[in-house]
Chain A
């Protein structure tokens, strides 16, 4: 009997550990997800290739007051991991050789390396196509440009003006929209004194 009872308790113990593990795992995943979502909200697009325009200070933190972590030479290729405020978190081959993982650089000292992404590869393009029957706003699907000759040959379209008017929103609706997005107006002056 003792051994049977011991066996029973052992099974309960194992089950409890299993349940506890599942709970911990779920919490961990949720926490990780929440962290990731927060990161998405706070930082701009990740993993772009860029080049440094001029020799730039590499900083430990995304701030003008940050301690220096070295510098990046002009024309050095960089991998942009994310943006926080006006700073990019970057890594380079040179940094890797020195065992330096990453550092922050002023975003204005960087240019993106050109990529041909606009023909339906961007998120918005594929998203457009996924839910509407409308054609994609790309050259390949026949949506046209808007150039000098088009303007010269244009005729005023008054029906489109009426359609435009149906999309207008009230100031109250815009305020609710802002509140929903947690947008807070502040005292930044548009025109400086």
Chain B
């Protein structure tokens, strides 16, 4: 025991406690026996060994909350266009086989979000700021990089030691939907919903750490270049953001969760120099044609 650090020791005790608690209550959600799930692996709770299927379910749950805040923009052509741009980028990323899904959230806020497992969202307010396909690709490339580098999962690993993470986060939302008719299950559903929403708040209000954001910028601009787009559209975007008044409410959450555009630009100086010979495309016309 001497080799165990204090946080690890506490985590072990906490995990054992939850393991016993869930086993004793036999918590069941739909057809899933959560107690058994936890019993199969405290590792799931620890969030240190989340497999891809669990990652996708977790991302689906986070996405359900994001879409619960504001729905998708009701224009199929625009959503499919964003999916085409995103899927092309994703195919050039390090995780092409994830079930990538992209959506435009109907909101005046200027922002974009990623959820583990391949879920990426851009607000219509952000889309309004853009002038060409390369700029759209730049926004998506940043979010894709968060997913390929598992930044959100790493964040919840840290959160796991503070006990906010529970196994229910990794259970499909569908399992809960199946339970909404059963009054006896309503309490469990509410518990699940509260946990999922709580985690979404944790991730999207607190945001990722600044190093992850800088890394997503660095990988994002390079993914943009690799996919054949004009890499400097990434800089265009940040300069456009920097030109919008910092106290504009549309930027409130973005500014709360990201370094300022100016700091992000400064951090990209080296990449701009390295990508100086990039001859990628902007694709103005295709973007405009879809948006009209």
Contacts and interface: CB of A to CB of B under 8 A. Distances in A.
A161 B230 CA distance: 32
B228 A183 contact: yes
Interface in A89-119: 106-108, 110-116, 118
Contacts of A43: 282
Interface string A158-173: 1011011101111101
A83 B291 contact: no
B63 A112 contact: no
Contacts of A108: 235, 265, 268-269, 272
Interface of B: 60-61, 63-76, 79-80, 82-85, 87-88, 90-94, 96, 99-103, 105-111, 119, 123-125, 127-133, 145, 148, 173-174, 176-177, 193, 196-197, 200-201, 204-205, 219, 222-223, 225-230, 232-233, 235-236, 239-240, 242-245, 248-250, 252-253, 256, 262, 265, 268-269, 272-273, 275-286, 288, 291-292
A188 interface: yes
20 contacts: A44-B236, A107-B239, A107-B272, A134-B73, A143-B125, A144-B107, A146-B123, A146-B253, A156-B68, A160-B67, A160-B71, A164-B101, A168-B100, A173-B84, A174-B84, A174-B90, A177-B87, A185-B92, A189-B226, A190-B223
Contact of A124 (B60, B76, B100, B291): B291
A157 interface: yes
Contacts of A182: 228, 281
B131 A123 contact: yes
A68 to B, nearest CB: 17
Contacts of B236: 44-45, 83
Given A42-B282, A167-B103, 19 more contacts: A40-B284, A40-B285, A85-B232, A85-B276, A86-B275, A108-B269, A122-B129, A123-B131, A124-B127, A127-B288, A127-B291, A143-B108, A146-B109, A147-B253, A151-B204, A156-B68, A158-B176, A178-B88, A188-B278
Contacts of B282: 41-44
A157 to B, nearest CB: 4
A107 B235 CA distance: 8
Contacts of B79: 167
A186 B275 CA distance: 12
A161 B105 CA distance: 12
A186 to B, nearest CB: 6
A146 B244 contact: no
B125 A137 contact: yes
A178 to B, nearest CB: 5
| Prevailing SS type, chain A contact patch | loop
A128 B291 contact: yes
Interface in A118-156: 118, 122-125, 127-128, 130-132, 134, 137-139, 143-148, 150-152, 154-156
Contacts of B239: 107, 110-112
Q: How large is the interface on A (under 10, 10 to 19, 20 to 34, 35 or more residues)?
A: 35 or more
A6 interface: no
Contacts of B244: 114, 118
Contact of B68 (A37, A83, A160): A160
Contact of B107 (A111, A146, A165, A185): A146
A163 B75 contact: no
